[in-house]
Amino acid sequence: MKRKLVVGNWKMNGDLVRNQALLEQLVRHELAAVERAVCVPFPYLAQAQAALAGTPVALGAQNLCEFDDGAFTGEVSARMLREFGCRYVIVGHSERRSLFGEDDAMVARKTAKALAAGLIPIVCVGESLAEREAGQVEAVLQRQLDALRTELTPAALAELVIAYEPVWAIGTGRAASPEQVQAVLAFIRAWLGEHGGAVRILYGGSVKPDTARELFSLPDADGGLIGGASLVAGQFIEICEAGASASHSA
């Protein structure tokens, strides 16, 4: 059995009361056949660290600074994330790329910082709708992946988790079709085979309880990165269960 990885990305959502209820429901639900993690907003790291301590649900953050420390107002370093017990950090989410100006080179530098601090980066890649319609999916993915090689050795590349998140499928309720997803995951797998080795590859973009099982069972899918549905305990648990049953058949 190869255990799937299901990661919740809360984005900029939550409050102390709702978080506590959500975290308590997640940890009460035992699911050995799937690896689970939640990536919470920075101010809630301490709360989530306490709620998840001693449980199999891992903690992650959604971003980090490319520098170690110093005069970088408003930024959070990899070391700080480690201090709060983070195992994962999302790097280069499309919202960071499109809304906060993160380019491929910065994503690569942040990825290197995360690895150096002992975090597992979940590096997001994916094309926009315009790029897909222009037939540029592979070219975009190639560019995003190649940028990682400028900062990372092949051994470091092998430590990553890659999340394929087509921009047009994020938050739209319109997940990519299993055929579209598998084609891109296979492309990423081949690129990694050439340059780094085996890493886990996730799919993200409107994954819901009713689509999760099929998406997680694709030959090159190692799990999923879940946005909206990770905020609803029942939905996230169902998606994790889909991950567990896909693990059994992997």
- Which CB atom, from 37 or from 54, has the smaller least distance to ligand 13P? 37
| Residue in 35, 66, 93, 95 annotated catalytic | 93
CB 162 within 8 A of CB 92: no
Contact residue for ligand 13P among 14, 196, 228, 243 (CB under 6 A): 228
93 part of the active site: yes
**Among 26, 37, 29, 28, CA closest to 4:** 37
- Which CB atom, from 195 or from 213, has the smaller least distance to ligand 13P? 213
Burial degree of 232 (CB within 10 A; 0-12, 13-18, 19+): middle
243 sits near ligand 13P (criterion: CB under 6 A): no
205 sits near ligand 13P (criterion: CB under 6 A): yes
- Which CB atom, from 35 or from 165, has the smaller least distance to ligand 13P? 165
206 sits near ligand 13P (criterion: CB under 6 A): yes
- Which CB atom, from 232 or from 250, has the smaller least distance to ligand 13P? 232
Cβ at position 70, least distance to ligand 13P in Å? 29
- Which CB atom, from 39 or from 192, has the smaller least distance to ligand 13P? 39
56 sits near ligand 13P (criterion: CB under 6 A): no
6 sits near ligand 13P (criterion: CB under 6 A): no
- Which CB atom, from 153 or from 177, has the smaller least distance to ligand 13P? 177
Q: Which stretch binds ligand 13P (CB under 6 A): 77-85, 154-162, 165-173, 211-219?
A: 165-173
Cβ at position 161, least distance to ligand 13P in Å? 12
195 part of the active site: no
171 sits near ligand 13P (criterion: CB under 6 A): yes
201 sits near ligand 13P (criterion: CB under 6 A): no
Q: Which stretch binds ligand 13P (CB under 6 A): 101-109, 136-144, 180-188, 220-228?
A: 220-228
181 sits near ligand 13P (criterion: CB under 6 A): no
CB 201 within 8 A of CB 185: yes
Three-state SS for the chain is CCCEEEEEECCCCCCHHHHHHHHHHHHHCCCCCEEEEEECCHHHHHHHHHHHCCCCEEEEECCCCCCCCCCCCCCCCHHHHHHCCCCEEEECCHHHHHHCCCCHHHHHHHHHHHHHCCCEEEEEECCCHHHHHCCCHHHHHHHHHHHHHCCCCHHHHCCCEEEECCHHHCCCCCCCCHHHHHHHHHHHHHHHHHHCCCCEEEEECCCCHHHHHHHHCCCCCCEEEECHHHHCHHHHHHHHHHHHHHHHHC
**Contact residues for ligand 13P (CB under 6 A)?**
9, 93, 165, 170-171, 204-207, 225-229
Catalytic residues: 93, 165
